[in-house]
A and B are shown apart, each in its own frame.
Chain A
Amino acid sequence: MLYSIQNLKRSHGQTTILDIDSLEIQAGKVYALIGPNGAGKTTLLNILAFLDLPSSGELSFQGEAVQYHPRVLQRLRQKVVQLDQYPILFSGSVRKNVEYGLKVRKVERKKRQLMVEKVLALVGMSRFINADARTLSGGETKRVALARALAVEPDVLLCDEPTANVDAENQQIILDILKDCNSEKKVSLLFATHSLSDAARLADHTIVLQNGRLAQARKTNVFTIEHQEYRGSGSIWRIGGSLEYSQEVVDPGVPYASHVHLDPEKITCFPIDELPNVDVPFWQGTIRKIERHGKGIRLSVDCGVALQIMMSLEDYTSTNLHVEQQVGVSFRLTPDMFFNV
């Protein structure tokens, strides 16, 4: 286990900013941290980055209880890097910024140079290597800050709104880099975001914070849901802005929920010519990606919204699904899937 949190609280005076009973974060995974402003996302990231101290409770990192001694904290910080929402670059050149963490670790000059060039190439900022860091735009600053964080080859990368306030092109670049870091270098990634689509695209797991408390930790497939109308004894919802869903009223309270979480393991996917012989709503979509995920198979299906579907290896083999195949997907909404953010 990468992080393990038990009864952790962070307070300022009488105000409790963060109050988490229990949370476990696995190594090598991508976690999205979502929640409204003031939910405690940044505080949690600061605590996980060992930049802030919990007021009470226990935090374990890589199986060891964290001891809040300056030397211990410095050792732990050398494994975890946090990327701020508005990162700031030190005065001087881009090169000096990127090699800072390596200098701190007393990496020899030649190695430093090679690493700086490598990470700047990774973030597409090689031509700025000798530029004054203060002259860069917001998106470029974020990319250099990301390169500075990656240069030290951390075990964990914590990002506070990595795509906020940058243009669409830079957003995509940043998301691609983060994804590659996780898949190729096995960097554990935890990022706070307001973008549910970023969370759905990138994260294996989603952690939802509300008023400093952990809402039920949810995996992928978190979508906005709007109640459209009552029809007969049922209701019509719109999921993710485009998927129309009709079902018997699930719960009198749920029409007011803002989000829905569709458990990837409870979504059925079948070839379009093998419609299930039961009365459940289904939608037509196209398989965009098939990948191994743990002991099962994860399908990315585009059916108006990007759905992540998990199936066992046996089911996958028997259905003979393939990329770009037209498929049907079906699921049932239950009250526990609805929540507010």
Chain B
Amino acid sequence: MDLLTDSLYQAFLLLISLDAELFEIVGVSLTVSSSSTAIAALVGLPCGFLIAFREFPGKRLTITVLNTLLALPTVVIGLIVYSFISRRGIFGPLELLYTQKAIIIGQVILIIPVITTLTIAAISRIDKRYRKSALTLGAGELQVALVIFREARYGIIAAVVAAFGRVIAEVGISMMLGGNAKGFTRTMTTAMALEYDKGEFVLAVALGIVLMSLAFLINMLFHFFQGRTEVNAL
């Protein structure tokens, strides 16, 4: 118990003193996670929209595959991406391994299914009459799509927030593809794992506090937007 309380006390001191190393790690985490979330959103939102909006053969199978990919372990993604970007891989000459770009690639693969499936759910919940109303008022396909997007906006934002929460807390991809290089690819989760291995709990606990605070904030945002979606659906 002394270990925990002492570590917590020291961690708070570290946070209050605005420790440079701690904030560097937090900075790397936020940069990598924000980038991967933005890229995944650019891919996942239109995909989710098209899958929800259009009828095509194999639609149910596509949704089932995407739902299955939600359970994809980060270490599996790490392994697959590693096989492509390691020196012997086909993208080896690009020298991506152990860079922030490598982590971003892995994280994008991790959260595209998250954003896509949650977007499908958000769009599918939207009343069919919105589409019909826009069409009968003379809207084209793109204008109809914008109406649906607008009505589903809170659900879509919630999908992006959930995806960000997933990547900020993942450790497998960051460790395997980033290599935990100090100042470059050391994220909050990989730094915590390292500090734990070293038996140094203070920085690990301080990072844990930051991560938990971020997770809390993300969940608050998620529930806020989810709540708006439900109110909207009434």
Contacts and interface: CB of A to CB of B under 8 A. Distances in A.
Interface of A: 49, 51, 70, 74, 77-78, 80-82, 84, 86-88, 90-91, 100-101, 104-105, 145, 148-149, 152
A90 B150 contact: yes
Contacts of A148: 137
Of the candidates B127, B129, B132, the one having the most CB atoms from chain A within 10 angstroms of its own CB is B132
A84 B141 CA distance: 20
Contacts, number: 55
B152 to A, nearest CB: 10
B147 A90 contact: yes
Interface of B: 127, 129-130, 132-141, 143, 147, 150-151, 232
Contacts of A49: 136
A88 B137 contact: no
Contact of A74 (B130, B133, B140, B151): B140
15 contacts: A51-B135, A74-B139, A74-B140, A77-B138, A78-B138, A84-B129, A84-B133, A90-B147, A91-B151, A91-B232, A104-B134, A104-B137, A104-B138, A104-B143, A149-B136
A100 B135 CA distance: 11
Contacts of B143: 104
Given A88-B129, A90-B130, A82 B151 contact: no
Contact of B133 (A70, A78, A88, A91): A88
Nearest to B140: A74
Contacts of A90: 130, 133, 147, 150-151
A77 B141 contact: no
A149 B137 CA distance: 7
B50 to A, nearest CB: 16
Contact of A84 (B132, B150, B232): B132
Contacts of B151: 90-91
Nearest to A83: B136
Contacts of B138: 74, 77-78, 101, 104-105, 152
10 tightest CB-CB pairs across the interface, nearest first? A101-B137, A78-B138, A88-B129, A82-B136, A104-B138, A104-B139, A74-B140, A77-B138, A81-B136, A101-B138
B129 A86 contact: yes
Given A51-B132, A84-B129, A91 B150 contact: yes
A234 B151 CA distance: 63
